[in-house]
């Protein structure tokens, strides 16, 4: 009975917390209703999480309007610094220069970066990380060189503003002292990546874990015989993983909608949205 009562009390306290607020920078409890228009934007990886949270917020607080643009992680950080966005989103860590300019990051989730290939044409299920780096550097040009089909490898990469590219570069390419091949095809989002790889024979690319199953024409490889899974990100045996972040200009102000929004992302309910969108909750 004590346990039931404690659960009920916790739910009542949570309901009281999320029923209060205001778009002005006053204490959260001082407002009965949030209102105002808010511009958020940045990472294409983080976009599904943000869109789902936006829908919850706008359903609960009809006077709130939230937009989300997805031009990439670097644009999300820059937008938070220059005031274009009151919350930016990035699938990479901020740099020391960005931090010096005022960027403040909050981790909201974990994610891995999966190596994906065209499902019907490659003929491989596993690659070691050194081989992956050589492929993306253009040193290995045909799948038959590494036991696959006789077919010229089509490398598909992300644009330089991408946080997913930044993660892949730091966890796969830089440890091998390799640089991306200039002849790679370039796409601008995770969704574009899985669509392009799925439609292109002999193609290889990479995407956030949340996009692995988005296109039936792709499959995710194991890397070093380690599967791209939540457990292997937590235990850090999968080589390519990162935090997903929201970015503000300085620490979010107490009593602001931005602080309320970020606290919601970090709450049990917010973390459940992270899981529903196929990303990995914070431990």
Domains 2-110+243-276 and 112-241 share a fold: yes
What is the value of pTM for the model shown? Answer: 0.81
Note the pLDDT of residue 5.
Answer: 38
Note the pLDDT of residue 61.
Answer: 96
Note the pLDDT of residue 210.
Answer: 87
Relative to beta strand 103-118, strand 203-208 is antiparallel
The correct CATH number of 2-110+243-276 out of 3.90.180.10, 3.40.50.300, 1.20.272.10, 3.40.190.10 is: 3.40.190.10
Inter-residue contact 220 to 115 (CB < 8 Å): yes
Note the pLDDT of residue 257.
Answer: 97
Note the pLDDT of residue 17.
Answer: 44
Note the pLDDT of residue 32.
Answer: 58
* Burial (0-12, 13-18, 19+ Cβ within 10 Å), 191: middle
CA angle 134, 136, 140 (to 5 degrees): 45
Please report, for the chain, the start and end positions of each structural domain, with discontinuous segments joined by +: 2-110+243-276, 112-241
Topology of the domain comprising 112-241: D-Maltodextrin-Binding Protein; domain 2 (3.40.190)
Residues in the chain, total: 283
Q: Is 36 helix (H, G, I), strand (E, B) or coil?
A: strand
Note the pLDDT of residue 13.
Answer: 39
Which of 45, 111, 260, 30 lies closest to 269 in space, CA to CA? 260
Q: Which ranges of the chain have pLDDT less than 70?
A: 1-32
What's the token pair of residue 139?
Answer: 């040193």
Note the pLDDT of residue 1.
Answer: 39
């Amino acid at each position: 009975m004590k346990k039931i009562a404690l659960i009920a009390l916790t739910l009542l306290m949570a309901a009281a917390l999320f029923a209060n607020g205001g778009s002005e920078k006053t204490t959260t409890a001082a407002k009965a209703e949030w209102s105002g228009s808010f511009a958020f934007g940045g990472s294409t990886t983080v976009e599904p999480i943000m869109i789902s949270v936006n829908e919850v917020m706008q359903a609960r607080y009809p006077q709130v309007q939230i937009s989300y643009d997805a031009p990439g992680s670097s644009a999300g950080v820059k937008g938070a610094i220059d005031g274009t966005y009151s919350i930016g989103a990035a699938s990479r860590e901020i740099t020391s220069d960005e931090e010096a300019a005022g960027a403040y990051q909050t981790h909201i989730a974990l994610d891995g970066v999966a190596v994906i290939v065209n499902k019907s044409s490659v003929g491989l299920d596993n690659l070691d990380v050194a081989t992956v780096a050589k492929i993306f550097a253009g040193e290995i040009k045909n799948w038959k060189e590494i036991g696959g089909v006789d077919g010229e490898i089509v490398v598909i990469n992300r644009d330089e503003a991408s946080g997913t590219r930044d993660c892949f570069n730091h966890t796969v390419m830089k440890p091998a002292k390799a640089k991306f091949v200039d002849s790679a095809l370039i796409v601008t989002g995770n969704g574009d990546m899985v669509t392009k790889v799925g439609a292109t024979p002999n193609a290889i690319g990479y995407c956030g874990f949340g996009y692995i199953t988005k296109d039936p024409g792709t499959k995710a490889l194991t890397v070093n015989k380690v599967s791209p899974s939540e457990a292997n990100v937590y235990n850090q045996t999968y080589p390519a993983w990162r935090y997903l972040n929201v970015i503000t200009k300085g620490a979010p102000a107490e009593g602001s909608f931005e602080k309320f929004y970020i606290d919601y992302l970090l709450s049990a309910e917010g973390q459940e949205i992270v899981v529903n969108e196929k990303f990995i909750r914070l431990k």
